[in-house]
Structure 1
Amino acid sequence: MKYVILFLLFGAHSCYAQHTIQLSKDTISPNATLEDVSWIAGHWRGEALGGIAEEIWSPPMGGSMMFSFRLLHDDEVTFYEFGHIKQHKNTLILQLKHFDGKLKGWEAQDDTVDFKLVKLEKDIVYFEGLTMEKTTTDVLKVYVLVEEESEQRELLFTYTNYQQ
């Protein structure tokens, strides 16, 4: 997977505490609504993967919260992610697609990278392999589980509320 390779090539900050979790076998995602994660909405920016990372999340509307992500190195886009958290039946799912700096897609046209909802707490949402936590009104932490040579580790993205 290209995105795992890029994460590792750019030397992201690695976390040793386990913040990401998985659904137990034969367990379904809990009931949730987009209002439960509406606190993610905003314009977030921080240093990550050896460059500047930026995420922009829209408020809930039309059954989803859309987002865009970009990573810049030396003032050039390395890659993008576009996606959404979508209301799916009585729960939520986070889906995304990756694109290089010239918008060439990494996944097949009809494929997405999907993260099922595992658990919700106040200002923390746990998807399989991806956790988002709003630690203050101006700080959002995103933990992503990646695999390197058959070993898994977490990467931490720490964003602050970006005001132009």
Structure 2
Amino acid sequence: MRVILILLVAFSYTTLTAQKTFKLTEGETSPNATLEQVAWVAGHWKGEAFGGVAEEIWSEPLGESMMFVFRLVNDGKVSFYESGHIKQVGETIIMQLKHFDGSLKGWEEKDQTVDFKLVKIGEDKVFFEGLTMEKISETKMNAYVLIESEGKKEEVLFEYHKKKS
């Protein structure tokens, strides 16, 4: 009985702390994918992250892209925005975005974007480098983002619920 309990605790800890974001290995290319495979992301999503309210609005696929906007609100004020898309590029997809502060001053240089190459795609999950989106149900989605700061890496969970139209 004691062995079973130890195994259950070890399994639970491993499951709860399992890495959710991944990276392509050197020389590896993104797999084939289409926007239709990630169309389930479309909608208005809201949740909590970084001590505030996180909100994302995603469009349906159109013009070889799915556009989105994001905002984080802390203490009743916008901390930052993101604007971007998932774009069809040949036989695969890529996620690209730009950050803006609460006054819409850009963080990245004018012609620079933050790019997330596709690592793997499943029926209800899409793995970009450092960012994973997972459909839990028709009204719930989790996003895991690998945040690097001061030499430390941390996966941050965004638990989103779909707002009704």
Give the secondary structure class of the aligned counterpart of 1:133.
Answer: strand
Give the unaligned 5+ runs of structure 1: 1-14
User: Equivalences for 1:2-151 in 2 at 5 Å?
Assistant: 16-151=17-152
The letter for the 2-side match of 1:101 is G
Report the Cα distance in structure 2 between the residues aligned to 1:48 and 1:153, rounded to whole angstroms: 13
Task: Spell out, residue by residue over 1:104-123, the C-alpha distance to the aligned partner (whole angstroms, 9 max, x if none).
Answer: 00000000000000000111
Change (3 A) 1:132 1:44: same
Give the secondary structure class of the aligned counterpart of 2:80.
Answer: strand
* Count of aligned positions: 150
More relative contact order, 1 or 2 (CA 8 Å, 6+ apart): 1
Q: Equivalent residue for 1:11?
A: none
Q: Which 4+ stretches in 1 moved above 2 angstroms?
A: none
TM-score normalised by the chain length of structure 1:
0.89
- How big is the shift at 1:16? 3.5
Higher helix fraction: Structure 1 or Structure 2?
2
TM-score normalised by the chain length of structure 2:
0.88
The letter for the 2-side match of 1:137 is E
1:157 corresponds to 2:164:
no
Report the Cα distance in structure 1 between the residues aligned to 2:56 and 2:106, rounded to whole angstroms: 18
Task: Spell out, residue by residue over 1:107-162, the C-alpha distance to the aligned partner (whole angstroms, 9 max, x if none).
Answer: 00000000000000111000000000011111110000111332212000000011
The letter for the 2-side match of 1:91 is T
Give the unaligned 5+ runs of structure 2: 1-15
- Which of these two proteins has the greater Rg computed from alpha carbons? 2
